[in-house]
Amino acid sequence: MTPISTATNKVGKAIKLGPTASSVRVAITPNSKTAYVLYDYYVAQTSHSYLIPVRTASNTVLAPVKAGSYLNSIAITPNGKTAYVTSDRYGSQGQVYRGYVIPVSTTTNKAGTAIKVGSDPGAIAITP
């Protein structure tokens, strides 16, 4: 991931996230302090999904949060306390589609109990 200063359009040092990804999404907390990167990649045809917190002040990567697999989208609550990610399949359920939404505390960067929703969850949006 590349940070760009909007004042100068100059590029900062690239932030290494992981191997070649199948999909990537980014959401930033309302206080601008943390960018959460939803990073999904395949190893031996298995999806590995992580939510990677990046401290924006230093552009350093914090410990990735393991949050399901086949992650789709991310949204952060207006109070900035929780990031919600949608996951197509949770754990190692093979080909069984199970849709979950995983809440991740932005204070502890720990995933909470997965919330079961319908299959194949895609977009997510949160009321103001």
Partner 1 sequence: MNTSITHSLSVVAAVGALAVLGLAGTGPAGAAARPATAAKPPHPVTAYVANSGGNRVTAINTVTNKAGTGIKVGAAPGQIAITPNGKTAYILTGGSVVPIDTATNTALKPIKDTGGPGYIAITPNGKTAYVSYCCYNQSSDKLTPIRTATNTALKPITWKPGTVYGASPIVITPNGKTAYVASTAGTVTPVNLTTSKVGKPITFGKVAEDGNAYIAITPNGKTVYVAESSPYQPGDTVTPISTATNKAGKAIKVGESPVAIAITPNGKTAYVASTGSGPGG
Residue 119 in contact with partner 1, rule: CB under 8 A: yes
Residue 9 in contact with partner 1, rule: CB under 8 A: yes
Residue 6 in contact with partner 1, rule: CB under 8 A: yes
CA distances from 81 to 3, 97, 116 (A): 23, 29, 20
C-alpha distance across the termini of the chain, in Å: 28
Using CB under 8 A, which of 63, 98, 99, 108 touches partner 1? 99
Contact 50, 66 (CB under 8 A): yes
Site track 46-65 with partner 1 (rule: CB under 8 A), x = hit: -x------x-x---------
Nearest CA among 1, 57, 54 for reference residue 28:
54
3-class DSSP state of 53: strand
Using CB under 8 A, which of 43, 78, 92, 108 touches partner 1? 78
3-class DSSP state of 95: coil
Residue 124 in contact with partner 1, rule: CB under 8 A: yes
Residue 28 in contact with partner 1, rule: CB under 8 A: yes
Using CB under 8 A, which of 53, 65, 67, 73 touches partner 1? 73
Contact 49, 69 (CB under 8 A): yes
Residue 111 in contact with partner 1, rule: CB under 8 A: no
